[in-house]
Amino acid sequence: MSQKLIDAGLMPVQMKAKLDVFMQKIQLLGETLKIDLQTLQADHIALRLNDKELARLAHKEWLKEGREISTAMINGRPIIVIELTQPFRLSHWSIECLELPYPAQGKVYPSQCWEHVEFIVPSLAKTAEEYLADVRLKYPSLASQWDELSRQGIAVKLSSPKGEGERVNNPTIAFKYQNICIKLHPHSLKKIVESEQLA
């Protein structure tokens, strides 16, 4: 057991204790966006860490909670995906996978804790712009208040992160608000990992 992780409040048992409050914040952000998250599959949950040593220690501890199904290099740093032996059961969701990104060079997050949950909104879109158009069609209430989001302090970011060997495009829309983030994408992380293995 790592004292350094305990002191940072980042041991798995400590992180699990913070899940309910974190998911309540995610739910509230979903309500603000007028997206009914309860109807969506919660694909995975992600940690954010600033310190490489803490990331290494957290990686080691979380491996006791499941099995590593992917290590992809994205934007120059490893992103670890762990399939949990016991999925997190939170409200309407069962979350099977944990994403543990090692810190990006020169990027510092305001806090080291849970950072985002990714939900699946299925789509055949290949680009982030096409995906955004699909999401806005599916959620007209979100589309109608789109120009208000920044005034509410919600930052929107489109991306198409792709690891080496991935064969499936998985464009992403991220909604960030006060150190938490909801991400939407069309395909599950497991499907992306399977595409890596076919490469």
Q: What is the pLDDT of residue 146?
A: 95
On average, the pLDDT of the chain sits at 90
Alpha-carbon distance of 92 to 38, in angstroms, equals 6
> Using one digit for the tens of pLDDT, what is the confidence trace for 124-151?
998 999 999 999 999 999 999 999 999 9
Q: What is the pLDDT of residue 91?
A: 82
User: Is the model more confident about 170 or about 168?
Assistant: 170
pLDDT at 168 over 70: no
Q: What is the pLDDT of residue 74?
A: 80
Alpha-carbon distance of 56 to 54, in angstroms, equals 5
Alpha-carbon distance of 183 to 173, in angstroms, equals 6
What contacts 151, CB < 8 A, 6 or more positions away? none
pLDDT at 10 over 80: yes
Q: What is the pLDDT of residue 75?
A: 76
- Indicate the residue type of 194: E
pLDDT at 164 over 70: no
Alpha-carbon distance of 95 to 98, in angstroms, equals 8
> Using one digit for the tens of pLDDT, what is the confidence trace for 68-109?
998 888 878 899 999 999 999 988 899 999 999 999 888 888
Q: Are 58 and 5 in contact (CB under 8 A)?
A: yes
- Per-residue pLDDT band for 167 (boundaries 50, 70, 90) equals low
- Per-residue pLDDT band for 188 (boundaries 50, 70, 90) equals confident
- Per-residue pLDDT band for 198 (boundaries 50, 70, 90) equals low
What contacts 1, CB < 8 A, 6 or more positions away? 11, 61
Q: Which residues pair with 77 in a beta bridge?
A: 74
Tokens coding 194: 């399977």
- Per-residue pLDDT band for 166 (boundaries 50, 70, 90) equals very low
State what percent of residues in the chain have pLDDT above 70: 93
Alpha-carbon distance of 65 to 87, in angstroms, equals 10
